[in-house]
Copies of this chain bind each other. A is one copy, B any other.
Amino acid sequence: MAELLAPAPDFSGWTCPAPLRDQPRIVMGHGGGGTLSSELVEHVFAPAFGSPELSGFPDSAVLRLGGARLAFSTDSFVVRPLFFPGGSIGDLAVNGTVNDLAMSGAVPAFLSCAFLLEEGVELETVARVAEAIGAAARAAGVRVATGDTKVVESGHGDGVYVNTAGIGLVPDGVDIRPDRAVPGDVVIVSGPIGLHGVAVMSVREGLEFGVRIESDCAPLGGLVAAMLAVTPDLHVLRDPTRGGVAAALNEIAASSSVGVLLQERALPVPPEVANACALLGLDPLYVANEGKLVAFVPREHADAVLAAMLAHPLGAGARIIGECVDAHPGMVVARTAFGATRVVDRPLGEQLPRIC
Protein backbone atom coordinates (compact mmCIF):
# COMPACT_ATOMS: atom_id res chain seq x y z
CA MET A 1 0.00 0.00 0.00
CA ALA A 2 2.04 2.91 -1.26
CA GLU A 3 -0.10 5.52 0.45
CA LEU A 4 0.89 4.29 3.87
CA LEU A 5 4.45 5.22 3.09
CA ALA A 6 3.59 8.68 1.78
CA PRO A 7 2.32 10.76 4.68
CA ALA A 8 3.06 14.12 3.07
CA PRO A 9 -0.17 15.66 1.80
CA ASP A 10 -0.53 17.14 -1.66
CA PHE A 11 1.04 20.57 -1.41
CA SER A 12 0.88 21.24 -5.16
CA GLY A 13 -1.75 23.96 -4.87
CA TRP A 14 0.13 26.06 -2.34
CA THR A 15 1.35 29.51 -3.27
CA CYS A 16 3.67 31.40 -1.01
CA PRO A 17 2.14 34.76 -0.02
CA ALA A 18 3.86 37.55 -1.94
CA PRO A 19 5.63 39.34 0.92
CA LEU A 20 7.28 36.10 2.01
CA ARG A 21 8.39 34.84 -1.39
CA ASP A 22 12.07 35.64 -1.11
CA GLN A 23 12.35 33.63 2.11
CA PRO A 24 10.71 30.23 1.76
CA ARG A 25 12.16 28.89 5.03
CA ILE A 26 11.81 29.88 8.66
CA VAL A 27 14.67 32.02 9.99
CA MET A 28 15.40 33.05 13.56
CA GLY A 29 13.82 36.47 12.92
CA HIS A 30 10.39 34.92 12.39
CA GLY A 31 10.34 34.43 16.15
CA GLY A 32 11.76 37.85 16.97
CA GLY A 33 8.59 39.88 17.40
CA GLY A 34 9.46 42.29 14.56
CA THR A 35 8.47 42.71 10.93
CA LEU A 36 9.19 39.07 10.01
CA SER A 37 6.97 37.81 12.83
CA SER A 38 4.20 40.16 11.76
CA GLU A 39 4.40 39.04 8.14
CA LEU A 40 4.02 35.44 9.25
CA VAL A 41 0.96 36.31 11.31
CA GLU A 42 -0.58 38.62 8.71
CA HIS A 43 0.00 36.49 5.62
CA VAL A 44 -0.01 32.93 6.96
CA PHE A 45 -1.61 32.47 10.40
CA ALA A 46 -4.42 35.06 10.41
CA PRO A 47 -5.83 34.02 6.98
CA ALA A 48 -5.47 30.30 7.75
CA PHE A 49 -7.24 30.66 11.09
CA GLY A 50 -9.83 33.09 9.75
CA SER A 51 -8.83 35.40 12.59
CA PRO A 52 -7.89 38.76 10.99
CA GLU A 53 -7.74 40.39 14.44
CA LEU A 54 -4.46 38.54 15.07
CA SER A 55 -2.76 40.95 12.64
CA GLY A 56 -3.54 43.89 14.93
CA PHE A 57 -0.64 43.21 17.30
CA PRO A 58 -2.76 42.48 20.38
CA ASP A 59 -0.82 41.32 23.45
CA SER A 60 -3.94 39.41 24.45
CA ALA A 61 -7.37 38.77 23.03
CA VAL A 62 -10.36 40.25 24.82
CA LEU A 63 -13.46 38.12 24.50
CA ARG A 64 -16.86 37.68 26.07
CA LEU A 65 -17.88 34.30 27.45
CA GLY A 66 -20.76 33.46 29.77
CA GLY A 67 -21.32 37.14 30.48
CA ALA A 68 -17.71 37.74 31.56
CA ARG A 69 -15.24 39.91 29.64
CA LEU A 70 -11.97 37.96 29.57
CA ALA A 71 -8.43 38.51 28.35
CA PHE A 72 -6.70 35.42 26.91
CA SER A 73 -3.05 35.15 25.89
CA THR A 74 -0.26 32.65 25.29
CA ASP A 75 3.53 32.67 25.00
CA SER A 76 6.20 30.02 24.63
CA PHE A 77 9.58 30.46 26.30
CA VAL A 78 12.87 29.21 24.86
CA VAL A 79 15.37 31.44 26.68
CA ARG A 80 19.00 30.34 26.93
CA PRO A 81 20.37 29.84 29.52
CA LEU A 82 17.43 28.65 31.63
CA PHE A 83 18.69 30.60 34.64
CA PHE A 84 20.13 34.11 34.36
CA PRO A 85 20.80 37.03 36.71
CA GLY A 86 17.47 38.19 38.09
CA GLY A 87 15.32 35.30 36.91
CA SER A 88 14.76 32.10 35.00
CA ILE A 89 12.62 30.62 32.25
CA GLY A 90 10.06 29.93 34.99
CA ASP A 91 9.82 33.60 35.99
CA LEU A 92 9.50 34.59 32.34
CA ALA A 93 6.82 31.97 31.69
CA VAL A 94 4.62 33.43 34.43
CA ASN A 95 5.38 37.13 34.08
CA GLY A 96 5.38 37.13 30.28
CA THR A 97 1.82 35.86 30.09
CA VAL A 98 0.61 37.75 33.17
CA ASN A 99 1.93 40.97 31.63
CA ASP A 100 0.26 40.30 28.28
CA LEU A 101 -3.05 39.99 30.15
CA ALA A 102 -2.36 43.14 32.17
CA MET A 103 -1.70 45.08 28.94
CA SER A 104 -5.42 44.65 28.17
CA GLY A 105 -6.19 46.05 31.60
CA ALA A 106 -7.17 42.58 32.81
CA VAL A 107 -6.65 41.25 36.32
CA PRO A 108 -4.65 38.05 35.65
CA ALA A 109 -6.27 35.03 37.31
CA PHE A 110 -5.32 31.59 35.90
CA LEU A 111 -2.43 30.10 33.95
CA SER A 112 -1.91 26.88 32.04
CA CYS A 113 1.63 25.51 31.98
CA ALA A 114 2.93 23.08 29.35
CA PHE A 115 6.43 21.64 29.54
CA LEU A 116 8.25 20.39 26.47
CA LEU A 117 11.19 18.43 27.85
CA GLU A 118 14.16 16.82 26.17
CA GLU A 119 14.93 13.23 27.08
CA GLY A 120 17.92 13.15 29.42
CA VAL A 121 17.47 16.54 31.06
CA GLU A 122 18.00 16.35 34.81
CA LEU A 123 14.87 16.04 36.90
CA GLU A 124 16.39 18.56 39.27
CA THR A 125 16.50 21.20 36.52
CA VAL A 126 12.83 20.58 35.74
CA ALA A 127 11.98 20.79 39.43
CA ARG A 128 13.83 24.08 39.79
CA VAL A 129 11.99 25.56 36.84
CA ALA A 130 8.69 24.35 38.32
CA GLU A 131 9.58 25.92 41.68
CA ALA A 132 10.34 29.22 39.95
CA ILE A 133 6.98 29.04 38.19
CA GLY A 134 5.18 28.39 41.47
CA ALA A 135 6.94 31.25 43.25
CA ALA A 136 6.34 33.66 40.37
CA ALA A 137 2.67 32.67 40.17
CA ARG A 138 2.20 33.33 43.87
CA ALA A 139 3.94 36.70 43.55
CA ALA A 140 1.70 37.61 40.60
CA GLY A 141 -1.47 36.45 42.35
CA VAL A 142 -2.35 33.84 39.71
CA ARG A 143 -2.99 30.12 39.97
CA VAL A 144 -1.60 27.39 37.68
CA ALA A 145 -4.85 25.56 36.95
CA THR A 146 -3.92 23.05 34.25
CA GLY A 147 -0.85 21.67 32.50
CA ASP A 148 0.75 19.21 30.13
CA THR A 149 4.10 17.48 29.71
CA LYS A 150 5.58 16.17 26.48
CA VAL A 151 9.02 14.64 26.06
CA VAL A 152 11.03 14.54 22.83
CA GLU A 153 14.08 12.42 22.12
CA SER A 154 17.52 13.67 23.04
CA GLY A 155 18.69 15.93 20.22
CA HIS A 156 15.17 16.95 19.18
CA GLY A 157 14.65 19.57 21.88
CA ASP A 158 16.74 21.84 24.02
CA GLY A 159 16.37 20.87 27.67
CA VAL A 160 13.26 22.71 28.79
CA TYR A 161 10.77 24.75 26.80
CA VAL A 162 7.72 26.14 28.59
CA ASN A 163 4.42 27.42 27.25
CA THR A 164 1.90 29.28 29.34
CA ALA A 165 -1.53 30.59 28.47
CA GLY A 166 -3.45 32.87 30.78
CA ILE A 167 -6.94 34.13 31.49
CA GLY A 168 -7.81 37.36 33.25
CA LEU A 169 -10.92 39.40 33.94
CA VAL A 170 -11.22 42.79 32.24
CA PRO A 171 -12.90 45.33 34.55
CA ASP A 172 -16.01 47.12 33.31
CA GLY A 173 -15.27 50.36 31.52
CA VAL A 174 -11.72 49.38 30.59
CA ASP A 175 -10.93 49.28 26.86
CA ILE A 176 -7.18 49.23 26.30
CA ARG A 177 -6.10 48.34 22.77
CA PRO A 178 -3.11 49.03 20.50
CA ASP A 179 -5.37 50.96 18.09
CA ARG A 180 -6.68 53.47 20.64
CA ALA A 181 -3.76 55.93 20.65
CA VAL A 182 -4.70 59.44 19.49
CA PRO A 183 -2.63 62.56 18.86
CA GLY A 184 -2.10 64.39 22.12
CA ASP A 185 -1.64 61.21 24.17
CA VAL A 186 1.34 61.30 26.49
CA VAL A 187 3.76 58.36 26.26
CA ILE A 188 5.07 57.10 29.61
CA VAL A 189 7.57 54.29 30.28
CA SER A 190 7.45 52.67 33.69
CA GLY A 191 11.19 52.57 34.36
CA PRO A 192 14.74 51.95 33.12
CA ILE A 193 14.94 50.03 29.84
CA GLY A 194 17.15 47.31 28.37
CA LEU A 195 17.93 45.36 31.53
CA HIS A 196 16.50 41.96 30.59
CA GLY A 197 18.16 41.59 27.20
CA VAL A 198 21.55 42.74 28.50
CA ALA A 199 21.32 40.47 31.57
CA VAL A 200 20.62 37.37 29.47
CA MET A 201 23.27 38.24 26.94
CA SER A 202 25.85 38.84 29.62
CA VAL A 203 25.66 35.26 30.87
CA ARG A 204 25.22 33.72 27.45
CA GLU A 205 28.21 35.37 25.92
CA GLY A 206 30.30 35.30 29.08
CA LEU A 207 30.67 39.05 28.96
CA GLU A 208 31.81 41.14 31.90
CA PHE A 209 30.50 44.65 32.10
CA GLY A 210 32.12 45.51 35.42
CA VAL A 211 28.76 45.44 37.20
CA ARG A 212 26.14 42.75 37.64
CA ILE A 213 23.12 43.52 35.46
CA GLU A 214 19.92 41.78 36.49
CA SER A 215 16.80 41.13 34.46
CA ASP A 216 13.84 43.34 35.35
CA CYS A 217 11.44 40.35 35.05
CA ALA A 218 8.35 41.20 37.13
CA PRO A 219 4.54 40.95 37.07
CA LEU A 220 2.83 44.20 36.11
CA GLY A 221 -0.78 43.50 37.14
CA GLY A 222 -0.47 45.54 40.33
CA LEU A 223 1.07 48.54 38.57
CA VAL A 224 -1.70 48.50 35.95
CA ALA A 225 -4.34 48.30 38.67
CA ALA A 226 -2.79 51.37 40.33
CA MET A 227 -2.91 53.24 37.01
CA LEU A 228 -6.52 52.21 36.36
CA ALA A 229 -7.46 53.48 39.82
CA VAL A 230 -6.60 56.98 38.53
CA THR A 231 -8.69 56.59 35.38
CA PRO A 232 -10.12 53.63 33.46
CA ASP A 233 -9.46 55.67 30.30
CA LEU A 234 -5.92 54.52 29.54
CA HIS A 235 -5.67 54.24 25.75
CA VAL A 236 -2.82 51.76 25.14
CA LEU A 237 -0.54 49.64 27.33
CA ARG A 238 2.32 47.52 26.04
CA ASP A 239 5.15 45.54 27.61
CA PRO A 240 8.20 46.16 25.43
CA THR A 241 9.64 42.63 25.32
CA ARG A 242 11.12 41.22 22.08
CA GLY A 243 12.24 44.16 19.91
CA GLY A 244 12.20 46.48 22.91
CA VAL A 245 10.54 49.89 23.21
CA ALA A 246 11.13 50.51 19.49
CA ALA A 247 9.03 47.51 18.40
CA ALA A 248 6.26 48.28 20.91
CA LEU A 249 5.93 51.92 19.84
CA ASN A 250 6.03 51.04 16.14
CA GLU A 251 3.24 48.50 16.56
CA ILE A 252 1.09 51.05 18.38
CA ALA A 253 1.84 53.76 15.80
CA ALA A 254 0.85 51.36 13.01
CA SER A 255 -2.27 50.04 14.74
CA SER A 256 -3.54 53.49 15.66
CA SER A 257 -2.24 55.30 12.53
CA VAL A 258 -0.62 57.98 14.62
CA GLY A 259 2.90 59.35 14.85
CA VAL A 260 5.00 58.94 17.97
CA LEU A 261 7.55 61.60 18.85
CA LEU A 262 10.13 60.55 21.43
CA GLN A 263 12.48 62.78 23.40
CA GLU A 264 15.68 60.78 23.31
CA ARG A 265 17.09 62.54 26.36
CA ALA A 266 14.06 61.46 28.40
CA LEU A 267 14.65 57.74 27.80
CA PRO A 268 15.68 56.08 31.08
CA VAL A 269 18.71 54.09 29.94
CA PRO A 270 20.76 52.93 32.93
CA PRO A 271 24.49 53.69 32.52
CA GLU A 272 25.39 49.98 32.69
CA VAL A 273 22.93 49.22 29.87
CA ALA A 274 24.24 52.16 27.85
CA ASN A 275 27.82 50.94 28.32
CA ALA A 276 26.99 47.35 27.40
CA CYS A 277 25.07 48.48 24.33
CA ALA A 278 27.86 50.81 23.23
CA LEU A 279 30.34 47.96 23.54
CA LEU A 280 28.18 45.61 21.49
CA GLY A 281 26.79 48.03 18.93
CA LEU A 282 23.21 47.69 20.17
CA ASP A 283 20.56 50.37 20.56
CA PRO A 284 18.88 50.20 24.01
CA LEU A 285 15.56 51.09 22.35
CA TYR A 286 15.62 47.62 20.75
CA VAL A 287 16.65 45.59 23.80
CA ALA A 288 13.98 43.48 25.54
CA ASN A 289 12.39 44.28 28.87
CA GLU A 290 10.34 41.87 30.97
CA GLY A 291 9.03 44.08 33.76
CA LYS A 292 8.28 47.38 32.06
CA LEU A 293 5.36 48.91 30.22
CA VAL A 294 4.75 51.83 27.91
CA ALA A 295 1.45 53.65 28.34
CA PHE A 296 -0.42 56.02 26.02
CA VAL A 297 -2.43 58.24 28.35
CA PRO A 298 -4.84 61.10 27.57
CA ARG A 299 -3.01 64.35 28.31
CA GLU A 300 -5.47 65.44 31.01
CA HIS A 301 -4.73 62.31 33.05
CA ALA A 302 -1.00 62.09 32.39
CA ASP A 303 0.30 63.80 35.54
CA ALA A 304 -1.98 61.83 37.85
CA VAL A 305 -1.17 58.51 36.14
CA LEU A 306 2.56 59.27 36.31
CA ALA A 307 2.23 60.08 40.02
CA ALA A 308 0.43 56.78 40.65
CA MET A 309 3.16 54.91 38.78
CA LEU A 310 5.94 56.65 40.73
CA ALA A 311 4.21 55.60 43.96
CA HIS A 312 4.30 51.92 42.94
CA PRO A 313 7.50 49.87 43.46
CA LEU A 314 7.47 48.69 39.82
CA GLY A 315 6.90 52.22 38.48
CA ALA A 316 9.38 54.09 40.66
CA GLY A 317 11.50 54.95 37.62
CA ALA A 318 8.57 56.05 35.42
CA ARG A 319 9.19 58.88 32.94
CA ILE A 320 7.29 60.74 30.26
CA ILE A 321 9.29 59.92 27.11
CA GLY A 322 7.22 61.45 24.33
CA GLU A 323 3.85 62.12 22.82
CA CYS A 324 1.48 61.06 20.13
CA VAL A 325 1.31 63.40 17.10
CA ASP A 326 -0.65 63.99 13.90
CA ALA A 327 2.53 64.12 11.83
CA HIS A 328 4.14 60.99 10.27
CA PRO A 329 1.29 58.52 11.04
CA GLY A 330 2.56 54.98 11.58
CA MET A 331 6.09 56.19 12.30
CA VAL A 332 8.16 56.62 15.44
CA VAL A 333 10.58 59.54 15.41
CA ALA A 334 13.09 60.44 18.11
CA ARG A 335 14.35 63.97 18.78
CA THR A 336 18.01 63.61 19.65
CA ALA A 337 19.91 65.45 22.35
CA PHE A 338 21.24 67.76 19.64
CA GLY A 339 17.77 68.75 18.41
CA ALA A 340 17.89 66.64 15.26
CA THR A 341 15.33 63.91 14.58
CA ARG A 342 15.80 60.30 13.52
CA VAL A 343 13.36 57.62 12.52
CA VAL A 344 13.11 54.71 14.98
CA ASP A 345 12.41 51.84 12.60
CA ARG A 346 10.51 48.72 13.41
CA PRO A 347 13.06 45.88 13.84
CA LEU A 348 13.03 43.07 11.28
CA GLY A 349 13.66 40.44 13.94
CA GLU A 350 15.21 40.37 17.39
CA GLN A 351 18.86 41.38 17.67
CA LEU A 352 19.34 38.94 20.56
CA PRO A 353 17.61 35.65 19.72
CA ARG A 354 16.09 33.51 22.45
CA ILE A 355 16.02 36.10 25.21
CA CYS A 356 12.54 34.94 26.28
Asked if A54 contacts B147 (CB within 8 A), the reply is yes
A31 to chain B, nearest CB (A): 3
Asked if B158 contacts A44 (CB within 8 A), the reply is no
| Nearest-CB residue, chain B, relative to A30 | B151
Asked if A44 contacts B75 (CB within 8 A), the reply is no
Bitwise, A127-151 to B at CB < 8 A (1) or not (0) is 1101101100110000111111111
Asked if A49 contacts B137 (CB within 8 A), the reply is yes
Q: Which of B9, B14, B145 contacts A61 (CB 8 A)?
A: B145
- Report the bound CA distance from A157 to B26 in whole Å: 12
Asked if A124 contacts B24 (CB within 8 A), the reply is yes
- Report the bound CA distance from A165 to B44 in whole Å: 20
Asked if A24 contacts B146 (CB within 8 A), the reply is no
Is residue A300 contacting chain B, with contact meaning CB distance below 8 A?
A: no
Q: What chain B residues lie within 8 Å of A37 (beta carbons)?
A: 149
Please classify the interface of chain A as helix (H, G, I), strand (E, B), loop, or mixed, using the class held by over half of its residues: mixed
Asked if A121 contacts B31 (CB within 8 A), the reply is no
A191 to chain B, nearest CB (A): 22
Q: What chain B residues lie within 8 Å of A8 (beta carbons)?
A: 81, 83
Asked if A26 contacts B118 (CB within 8 A), the reply is yes
Asked if A158 contacts B156 (CB within 8 A), the reply is yes
Q: A109-B65, A112-B74, A116-B161 are in contact. Are A16 and B124 (CB under 8 A)?
A: yes
Q: What chain B residues lie within 8 Å of A307 (beta carbons)?
A: none
Q: What chain B residues lie within 8 Å of A274 (beta carbons)?
A: none
Is residue A340 contacting chain B, with contact meaning CB distance below 8 A?
A: no
Please provide the chain A residues from 64 to 89 with a CB less than 8 Å away from any CB of chain B in the complex.
65-70, 72-78, 81, 83-85, 88
Is residue A163 contacting chain B, with contact meaning CB distance below 8 A?
A: yes
Asked if A49 contacts B7 (CB within 8 A), the reply is no
Asked if A50 contacts B146 (CB within 8 A), the reply is no
| Nearest-CB residue, chain B, relative to A165 | B165
Assembly stoichiometry (copies): 2
Q: Which of B49, B76, B110 contacts A116 (CB 8 A)?
A: B76
Asked if B68 contacts A67 (CB within 8 A), the reply is yes
Q: Which of B9, B67, B76, B118 contacts A66 (CB 8 A)?
A: B67
Q: Which of B127, B137, B157 contacts A158 (CB 8 A)?
A: B157
- Report the bound CA distance from A83 to B143 in whole Å: 35
Bitwise, A18-61 to B at CB < 8 A (1) or not (0) is 00100111111111100001001100110011110110001011
Bitwise, A206-246 to B at CB < 8 A (1) or not (0) is 11111111000000000000000000000000000000000
Is residue A327 contacting chain B, with contact meaning CB distance below 8 A?
A: no
- Report the bound CA distance from A74 to B183 in whole Å: 40
Is residue A152 contacting chain B, with contact meaning CB distance below 8 A?
A: yes
Asked if A112 contacts B149 (CB within 8 A), the reply is no
Q: A7-B203, A70-B65, A152-B354 are in contact. Are A44 and B208 (CB under 8 A)?
A: no
Q: What are 22 inter-chain pairs, A to B, with CB distance below 8 A?
A: A4-B206, A7-B203, A14-B124, A14-B127, A26-B118, A28-B151, A29-B151, A31-B117, A40-B149, A44-B123, A44-B126, A45-B115, A48-B131, A49-B137, A51-B143, A61-B110, A63-B110, A63-B145, A78-B152, A114-B163, A151-B353, A157-B158
**10 extra A-B contacts, CB within 8 A, seeds A4-B203, A114-B163, A161-B161:** A9-B128, A14-B124, A26-B118, A26-B121, A67-B68, A72-B145, A74-B114, A76-B163, A148-B163, A156-B158
